[in-house]
Amino acid sequence: MSVVLFSGQGSQYVGMANDIFSNSDVAKDLINSADDILGYNLSKIMFEGPSEKLRETRYTQVAIFLHSAVLFELLKTKIEVLAAAGHSVGELSALYSSGVIGFEDAIKLVSTRGELMYKAGLEKPGTMFAIIGLADENIDDICAKLNDPKNGNILVPANYNSPGQVVISGSRDYLKNSVEKFKDSGARIVKELQVSGAFHSPLLESARDEFSQLLDTISFKDASFPIYTNVDAESETDSQLLKDKLKLQLVSPVKWSQSLVAMKDSGISNFIELGPGKVLQGLVKRTLSDVSISGYDKYSDIEKIS
């Protein structure tokens, strides 16, 4: 039995899911249905780009969800799922896979989430930097010293991706002017990410509030298998608790490496990534030892399973 991991923002690419659409009637029906629900041709953006448009948060997130959901539907009878987790927006894919939310509700939630985050980024400009080669504790300490919310200067940890790889988030100009502190403390790489805002930081409070209101209109069911949630790296199946944690996610750090460790500590040793790219496979390899990790992205990957 396996834990299924669902990809997050940054793993998208032009042409994603196109080969699956061409080879599977199930995939074709789901993707066409998503276009109808959204009221625009998301599939054209996924298949043809341009890459600049696909990178816009309002399209990226729903594109990644759709790709992941299609893969799950094609593979769910071929793999035994013990638990699931998703990186940031991938958590909604995990909730869909475990039956917590239906396809139409999931599309609406992910699409609105992306729109709200995109809007928040315009209202309160922010950015994110990957910090490589510095211990999590050191990054936490530096962020705590630099974070200055009273003066409108936000600087916080956003994603604990793997040991030695943490993404920080905050006010755009302030963060850009502060990153040398991480280099001075020994970081090997400090790299700005191509994002439209300060995700998983207090700068997304407005998005969190509106998203929470939408969540309150959506019916959640208990999960058919445990979900390891981003906000606390703990497994959960209760519908209300999963909803409550999702409300906190936009302004809380993604505890991804902590989630992976918790999974292994529970006895899990087999991981499968579903979604575009191989980002999560790399994070598993850098975080855990003595486990297996594989991934499914294209139709040719699916054909390998009998």
Check whether residue 286 and residue 145 sit in a common domain.
no
Mean pLDDT value of segment 194-207:
94
Asked if residue 220 and residue 181 are part of one domain, the reply reads no
Whole-number Å distance between alpha carbons of 182 and 228: 30
Among the options 11, 88, 111, 235, which is catalytic?
88
Q: What percent of the chain has pLDDT over 70?
A: 100
Residue 158 contacts by C-beta under 8 Å, 6 or more apart in sequence? 128, 167, 168, 169, 198, 199, 200, 201, 253, 254
- Structure tokens belonging to residue 150: 């009273």
Residue 306: which pLDDT band, with cuts at 50, 70 and 90?
low
**Is 93 noted as a catalytic residue in this protein?**
no
The CATH number of residue 21's host domain is 3.40.366.10
Catalytic residue chosen out of the listed positions 87, 200, 235, 257: 200
In Å, what is the CA distance from 272 to each residue of 7, 94, 107, 151, 284? 11, 12, 23, 44, 10
Range of the domain at 145: 125-194
Residue 133, amino acid: G
Looking at the structure, tell me whether residues 46 and 155 fall in a common domain.
no
Condensed to tens digits (0 to 9), the pLDDT of residues 209-231 reads 999 999 999 999 999 999 999 99
CA-based end-to-end distance of the chain: 16
Number of structural domains, the chain? 2
Is 67 an active-site residue? no
pLDDT per residue over 97-117, tens digit each? 999 999 999 999 999 999 999
- Whether pLDDT at 237 is above 80: yes
Query: Which one of 142, 170, 194 terminates a domain?
Result: 194
Q: How far is CA 74 from the centre of its chain?
A: 21
Cα separation, 120 vs 234, whole angstroms? 28
274/149 same-domain check: no
Please report the pLDDT score of residue 196 as a whole number.
Answer: 86
| Cβ partners under 8 Å of residue 50, min gap 6 | 14
Residues 149 and 17 in one domain: no
Measured in whole angstroms, the distance separating CA 305 from the mean position of its chain's CA atoms is 26
Domain end point (choices 167, 194, 221): 194
Contact 4, 79 (CB under 8 A): yes
140 and 175 inside one domain = yes
139 and 214 co-located in one domain? no
Question: Is the domain of 156 the same as that of 75?
Answer: no
Structural contact between residues 27 and 296, judged by C-beta atoms closer than 8 angstroms: no
pLDDT > 90: what percent of the chain? 96
Q: Write out pLDDT tens, residues 151-196.
A: 999 999 999 999 999 999 999 999 999 999 999 999 999 999 988 8
58 and 129 inside one domain:
no
Of 146, 169, 194, which closes a domain? Answer: 194
Mean pLDDT of the chain: 96
**Residue 45 shares a structural domain with residue 100:** yes
Q: What is the CATH number of the domain that holds 165?
A: 3.30.70.250
> Is the pLDDT at 67 greater than 70, yes or no?
yes
Does residue 180 share a domain with residue 32?
no
Are residue 10 and residue 105 in the same domain, yes or no? Answer: yes
pLDDT of res. 305: 74
| The pair of three-digit structure tokens given for residue 221, joined into one six-digit string | 């069911």
pLDDT bracket for residue 148 (50, 70, 90): very high
